[in-house]
Chains A and B, each alone.
Chain A
């Protein structure tokens, strides 16, 4: 939509978008044009009424929940991104590899290695063994290693070099069976294996964890 120049000048004058020279010229013409003057005065009054009646901000209903929901979504996106990063390559990509001439030789070698590993595994490790291939401790004074306990049917992670726990420290454990996030209220109840709610975790406006309820 094209606006005639005088209309552009009118709004620019009203909104103080003119430089000094333009403003002086416009005010000179304004002095000689009663109709234009009346229009300017009317629009000025309109602007004043609009500004006085309309807030420049509007309280968001449930502002803390507004912030916490955004933080929940950001956390979800981050997790999704991590999952995507670690996901296997798409089928299309593998099909391309399969067309390469060395694919048959490489596939034969891989099958041989996997078969040997499988044979080794059957003869040296108990069924259901979870193997930790490598460990990394950010603190260089801590050495991490693991072993599989057949008796406990568990893989044990050992951390050597950590400070000992004070003897008077009371440590209480809870066996959490599963959790179920309620997106409507952004809470996550943690359940025991009997289906009892052990505690309810929520996040505050700054995405810090908060314990809402603790039942024993």
Chain B
């Protein structure tokens, strides 16, 4: 696991632990659910956005994931991670949508059929406000990485995001994607090989 990545479920100081909120949700407390939504909406939206590559659809699907989570929260087992469970629901919502839209074709995502738009600089402006030339390089790098990830199949894309961005362990990725550990490793290996092929010049120069 990436040691720099904080556990998504670890409560910050003064924050109510997820499982306490889940128990209140199971008793019908929609306010407790609202707190969970506020806590995880950006991560869930990040996942739907990367999988769907369309801002509006990603927003709607993130909503759908939370609604399904509410419907199913009565059956949630308190000995497992809420975050992983929520991610699995989000995964299913996105894949149902992808199946419905017939976006999948032979394992590779057809970029021309998406509405992928990268707002240059919009999400790549660093918080520390570096020099303009550095900011431009970062923005350009971000655009290239987004475009490369968009070329992966949804399975490969999700595996790499769950590992590199979310920092999940293999068994957690397997739980979210409902596949074996071997499949997780395979997806990560081939996703990285593909990204290496597309981005090699970019990241070798960036290093």
Contacts and interface: CB of A to CB of B under 8 A. Distances in A.
A binds B: yes
Interface of A: 1-3, 7-8, 10-12, 15-17, 42-43, 45-47, 49-51, 53-61, 63, 66-67, 69-71, 73-75, 77, 205-207
A10 B145 contact: no
B123 A11 contact: no
B147 to A, nearest CB: 12
B206 interface: yes
Interface in B6-48: 30-31, 33-34, 37-38, 41-43, 45-46
Nearest to A75: B30
Interface of B: 1-2, 4-5, 30-31, 33-34, 37-38, 41-43, 45-46, 49, 55, 59, 62-63, 66-67, 70-71, 123-124, 138, 141-142, 145, 160-161, 163-167, 169-170, 182-183, 185-186, 188-190, 192, 195-196, 199-200, 202-204, 206-207
B152 to A, nearest CB: 12
A60 B145 contact: no
A61 to B, nearest CB: 6
A58 B195 contact: no
Given A8-B182, A60-B45, A61-B55, A46 B196 contact: yes
B189 A11 contact: yes
Contact of A207 (B34, B38, B163, B169): B34
Most buried by A among B41, B43, B170, B196: B41
B188 A60 contact: no
Nearest to A49: B203
A70 to B, nearest CB: 5
A11 B192 contact: yes
B43 A53 contact: no
B41 A66 contact: yes
Contacts of B182: 2-3, 8
Nearest to B160: A50
A67 B206 contact: no
A70 B37 contact: yes
B199 A55 contact: no
A140 to B, nearest CB: 25
